[in-house]
Amino acid sequence: MVERVRGIKFHKKQDVAIVGAGITLFRRRLNETGKELSYYAVKQALEEAGLDISDIEMVVMGSAPDAFDGVHMKGEYLLDGSGGSNKPYMRFFVGGGTGVFAPIAGYWHVASGLADVCLVVTEEKMSSSHPHPQSAFKYIWDPILDRPLNPNLIWIFALEMRRYMHVHNIKHEDIALVSVKNKANALDHPSAQLAAKITVEDVLNSEPMSLPVRRLDVSPPSDGASALIMVAPHIARQLTDEPVWVDGVGWALDTTWWTNRDLYFPRYVAEAAKMAYKMAHVTDPRKEIDVAEPYDPFDYKELHHMEGLGLARKGEAPILTREGVTARDGDLPVCPSGGLLGVGNPIAATMGVKVAELYWQLSYRAGKRQVAREVTTGVTQAWGDLMQVGTVVVLSNKR
């Protein structure tokens, strides 16, 4: 074992601020190419920040499996629409976790001092793949042990949801409340694909897909893109009086042998959150976090992830939801954007409803979606790879 030097951990060259964000429409199918979607998102982020593409020094691209767009090494393909031509440019990819991992990569570009102005772009065009984008997920499984059984993501999540319900004795009604809340929140999001006023009964009576998972427990496949601009403090001060700061970042992966995890608790999120909270000096997340955007591709996942993030004790997240604590006007608003369940799930591009939403909330630019309570610190998180990566970012508007 090597000896560690005290105080060296998380050493950075400079602080990192977010000064602009952009998001396209999220839709099941769009005519625009992935490059065009990226372009729209970047254009919007540049406008919000008051920057020109020539101000951008480095570009981070986040996009999930090549199989969706059907272009092998799609990072290179998406280069021009992302504003990366003739610049240091790299694509990052941790499956569904990419939407929060890409901004983590943007963070270290700036924190290290390599860049003062870094553009982060995320894109997904799931509708290119046929017969259904779900088929791409057939090929993430172990080819020897899992794939001959024809697994698909939804039934794997059904096992996890069942395990979570069993361990904590949670009813489907309690889980369905998340879907009701997020789809209603999405009514105020201009990008939303599946915003709706629905009831718990609608969820419980929706079509069974892979029980206990029903149609309205699930987020849709989507096309879309989003963008963020991350800058050094001396740049932020020139652009805005209200930058939002990246206080902490964390990521972790649990074992690839997913059958060897106990599925009721997302350890990958807990480990990632531990890293991010340590960096951000957050010691009691339930008290110190004012607003949260955990990853919600399924309704139970919001609850699962809240517990992983320490925003609720194990098994407590459904109770907080039922009591309205996680509503937009609650004490701890969760997914005020409408989340993946309401706005849509273009895998990596969900950065636009996770990190970008948190930025808009903390800079008081969320408009009709602005949460009722005063906010200074928020946490956002995504999840992916073989259901094993947790990616966490803590943002704050105080310095």
Partner 1 sequence: MVFNEKITNPAELRHVQGRIELYWIYTSGEAGDVFFKKLRDEGKFTASKCRKCGHVFFPPRIYCEFDFSETEYMEISGEGCVLAFSVISYDSDGNRLEKPEIYALIGMDGTDGKIIHLLGEIEPENIETGMKVVPVLKPKDQREGKITDILYFKPVS
Q: Quote the tokens at residue 69.
A: 């767009």
Kindly tell me which residue out of 132, 314, 368, 399 binds partner 1, with binding defined by CB under 8 A.
132
Measured CA to CA, the distance from residue 46 to residue 48 in angstroms comes to 5
Cβ atoms of residues 131 and 32 within 8 Å: no
162 is a site residue for partner 1 (CB under 8 A): yes
370 is a site residue for partner 1 (CB under 8 A): no
Which residue, among 370, 335, 373, has the nearest Cα to 354 in the 3D structure?
Answer: 335
If you write DSSP's letter for every residue of 45-95 in order, what string do you get? HHHHHT--GGG--EEEEE---HHHHT-TTHHHHTTGGGT-TTS-EEEE-BT
Contact window for partner 1 (CB under 8 A) among 10-18, 22-30, 312-320, 371-379: 22-30
The pair phi, psi for residue 259, each rounded to 5°, is: -70, -15
Kindly tell me which residue out of 122, 127, 182, 350 binds partner 1, with binding defined by CB under 8 A.
127
If you write DSSP's letter for every residue of 125-150 in order, what string do you get? EGGGSSS-GGGGGGGGS-TTTTGGG-
Count of residues touching partner 1 (by CB under 8 A)? 50
Site string for partner 1, 67-86 (x = CB under 8 A): ---x-x--------------
155 is a site residue for partner 1 (CB under 8 A): yes
Site string for partner 1, 314-353 (x = CB under 8 A): ----------------------------------------
Q: Quote the tokens at residue 66.
A: 């090549």
**Cis amide prior to 131 (ω within 30 degrees):** yes
Q: Quote the tokens at residue 118.
A: 């870094």
Kindly tell me which residue out of 143, 241, 284, 287 binds partner 1, with binding defined by CB under 8 A.
143
Measured CA to CA, the distance from residue 321 to residue 326 in angstroms comes to 5
Other beta carbons within 10 angstroms of residue 87's beta carbon come to 16
CB of 21 to partner 1, least distance (A): 17
Kindly tell me which residue out of 113, 148, 324, 367 binds partner 1, with binding defined by CB under 8 A.
148
CB of 162 to partner 1, least distance (A): 4
Cβ atoms of residues 111 and 79 within 8 Å: no
134 is a site residue for partner 1 (CB under 8 A): yes
Site string for partner 1, 183-222 (x = CB under 8 A): ------------------------xxxxxxx---------
135 is a site residue for partner 1 (CB under 8 A): yes
By CB under 8 A, the residues from 250 to 289 that bind partner 1 are: 255, 257, 259-260, 262-263
Measured CA to CA, the distance from residue 114 to residue 231 in angstroms comes to 11
Q: By the criterion CB under 8 A, which residues form the site for partner 1?
A: 24-25, 27-32, 40, 70, 72, 127-128, 131-132, 134-135, 137-138, 143-146, 148-152, 154-156, 158-160, 162-163, 166, 207-213, 255, 257, 259-260, 262-263
